[in-house]
């Protein structure tokens, strides 16, 4: 059984696409997926970058492309009423469901609720009444499982989110979605076929090409 870490932020449409496509990418492989919510903005800040939706031109292209990708892959995706938005309430709601034996994780059902909240229906992702409805669904889920619920604004939940960010940065992650498996980092929705190939033992990964890519010298650096 191979452990896979899926780092995500529900603000990302590419993470939504990857989440929906992940079961097919993993089909036939013996794996356990650990869903790890993380604040994408923390990665951007660490690396001195802007998000795709913060760059003129790239913003429009991003929304066009993700809708096209959803269309071609048969994934439901409707743009929310406004984007980007502050995803902290969603991330903390998700981690309010984490258990002591997996404090930085959300199960697949909870993860799905977070993504569908944003990317189904074209509504405001942070409207108070919608966040309250989501909270109630998640609380009911925990009650049915006989598991404790933590308040989203509690120090414990905030620490869980910080710990996920710290681990992501320590692994060298720079964006979402990112899948990490046995030290290999696969970034982006379009990396899922590469992940499947690695799990299948594709000979390319033993050729040295993976390692050589990190050794390529830079010809110029901008100030």
CATH of the domain at 103: 3.40.30.10
Predicted confidence at residue 59, as pLDDT, reads 96
| Residue 182 maps to a domain | yes
Give the model confidence (pLDDT) of 130-163 as tens digits: 999 999 999 999 999 999 999 999 999 999 999 9
Predicted confidence at residue 223, as pLDDT, reads 75
Per the document, the length of the chain is 223
Counting the structural domains of the chain, the total is 1
Average pLDDT score over residue span 4-22: 98
pLDDT, the chain, mean = 96
Residue that is written with structure tokens 């594709």 in the block: 202
Predicted confidence at residue 5, as pLDDT, reads 98
| Residue 223 maps to a domain | no
| Residue 218 maps to a domain | no
| Residue 77 maps to a domain | yes
pTM of the model: 0.97
Give the model confidence (pLDDT) of 200-212 as tens digits: 999 999 999 999 9
| Residue 219 maps to a domain | no
| Residue 100 maps to a domain | yes
| Residue 124 maps to a domain | yes
Question: Secondary structure of 7-29 in the HEC alphabet?
Answer: EECCCCHHHHHHHHHHHHHCCCC
Predicted confidence at residue 222, as pLDDT, reads 82
- Checking if the pLDDT of 183 tops 90, the result is yes
| CB-count burial class (<10 Å; 0-12, 13-18, 19+) for 80 | buried
Predicted confidence at residue 8, as pLDDT, reads 98
Q: State which residues form the domain around 64.
A: 2-213
- Checking if the pLDDT of 114 tops 80, the result is yes
- Torsions phi, psi of 9, nearest 5? -135, 125
Average pLDDT score over residue span 69-77: 98
133/69 Cα distance (integer angstroms): 29
Predicted confidence at residue 212, as pLDDT, reads 96
Among 47-56, 85-94, 112-121, 192-201, which is the least confidently predicted range? Answer: 47-56
Average pLDDT score over residue span 19-42: 97
| Residue 17 maps to a domain | yes
Residue that is written with structure tokens 């896979």 in the block: 4
């Amino acid at each position: 059984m191979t452990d896979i870490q899926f780092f995500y932020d529900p603000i990302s449409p590419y993470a939504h696409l990857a989440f929906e496509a992940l079961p097919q990418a993993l089909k036939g492989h013996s794996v356990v997926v650990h869903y790890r919510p993380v604040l994408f903005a923390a990665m951007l800040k660490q690396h001195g970058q802007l998000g795709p939706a913060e760059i003129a031109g790239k913003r429009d292209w991003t929304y066009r492309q993700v809708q096209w990708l959803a269309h071609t892959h048969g994934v439901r995706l409707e743009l929310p009423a406004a984007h980007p938005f502050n995803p902290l309430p969603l991330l903390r709601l998700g981690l309010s469901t984490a258990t002591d034996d997996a404090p930085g994780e959300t199960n697949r059902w909870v993860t799905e609720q977070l993504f569908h909240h944003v990317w189904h229906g074209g509504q405001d992702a942070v409207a108070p009444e919608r966040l309250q409805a989501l909270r109630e669904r998640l609380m009911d889920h925990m009650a049915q499982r006989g598991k404790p619920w933590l308040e989203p604004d509690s120090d414990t939940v905030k620490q869980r989110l910080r710990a996920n960010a710290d681990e992501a940065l320590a692994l060298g992650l720079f964006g979402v979605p990112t899948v990490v498996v046995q030290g290999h980092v696969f970034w982006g929705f379009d990396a899922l076929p590469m992940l499947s190939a690695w799990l299948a033992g594709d000979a390319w990964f033993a050729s040295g090409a993976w390692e050589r890519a990190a050794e390529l010298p830079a010809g110029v650096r901008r100030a």
